[in-house]
Amino acid sequence: MINLPSPGLWDAVERLAPLTGAAPVPAAKRVRGYRYEPDKFTAAGLTPVPSETVRAPRVTECPLIFNFRHYQGLAPELGHCFTSETPTGR
């Protein structure tokens, strides 16, 4: 899931920057000033909506959203193999 915000969403993106949904906050994030926030959408003033192809929610306010799945596996004839489904977007 990639939600691309418009310039008008800059303040919301900045409100998200120091937040993590991980509890407890991992040490590497804690030393950089992150804090735990269980509802990052509300904290940033954004609206989540269910995605069509992945579990992560979309951000309603973002004008450009890509839903995609990425797979990593092994193909005997190729070694490591990486594939992605064609993204869908709005």
* pLDDT recorded at residue 89: 53
Tens of pLDDT, residues 45-70: 999 999 877 788 899 999 988 777 66
- Which tops the pLDDT comparison, 83 or 5? 5
Closest residue by Cα to residue 5 from 32, 55, 41, 50: 41
CA dist 64 and 5 (Å) reads 7
| Out of 7-16, 29-38, 55-64, least confident range | 55-64
Closest residue by Cα to residue 46 from 11, 7, 22, 82: 11
31 has a pLDDT exceeding 60: yes
- Which tops the pLDDT comparison, 71 or 47? 47
How many structural domains does the chain have?
1
Domain of 30 in residue numbering reads as: 2-89
